Chains A and B, each alone.
Chain A
């Protein structure tokens, strides 16, 4: 595997919280254009890993590079502007803004870091057509003028994805996109993730192995802050250590 195949690479990533090793010396390589899943039982360090990669947390040691550029010391908003955008475990929408306004906030970033408080917001009208198109992409056109807080959980996640896609990111990091979702919504979001993966790299954190089975090219299993196994679903699901880690903590 050569360097240019890798979009995101972490080496020796470690995060220590007051004497507790949440993430211990993790190496993670994400291939460009793949769907990569990070799974593990509760407390395995998935979300910490995720927060380290997206710079919402600073690693205690180790390096992270994105597109060959060392991003270890950059801030969370800088990462986003480089083209790596994350979602959140609790659906991250702007509750009192309408669906279309939610998407427009993302589109508006194209105006740069602009503090033009003296200009009328009508200039944002230029983004309306595209915002509507993004909303249609995820099937929320009937709800375009509802506030986000009125949407069901599954629709909030769809809105979040629409908002994220509006930034046209090179890489998406999804934090448990299917957590706490009704079955109908799981299938819908799975299909959505599959369809948006064209031309993009996706790294997703999931709790449940079966959810990522059909979706991912590579699966990395974490347990107790360390990498337990890595490979395709077939390899990983048969690995005795993985089975033990899951069954050992009470998951079938």
Chain B
């Protein structure tokens, strides 16, 4: 099956590969996986606590080209968005942008799950921190 040019571009030059300190209170980490294909995807966001804007995003994915491209694109989409805007990102946006074929749609779903997991992790952290401060 041929990959689209956009998938190949992200696969060959993945953006924002790497990791951030998961213990940093401003960093949210999402780790998701698809057992069917054996993919694992880690996606992290760094949020500015005063503005609520995502200032940085990193990922590392072990999986097929489409899974790598989906998460690479996801990190690009995340930067500059607020936490709530990030939660509104739909996998269909990734599908359209990368022209993913139907058999690879689950890769975009995985990326959406990773975004949600990272944001949820960040929100949980801040909620805990606030609870600790309140005490």
Chain A partners chain B? no
Contact surface of B with A, Cβ cutoff 8 Å: none
Contact surface of A with B, Cβ cutoff 8 Å: none
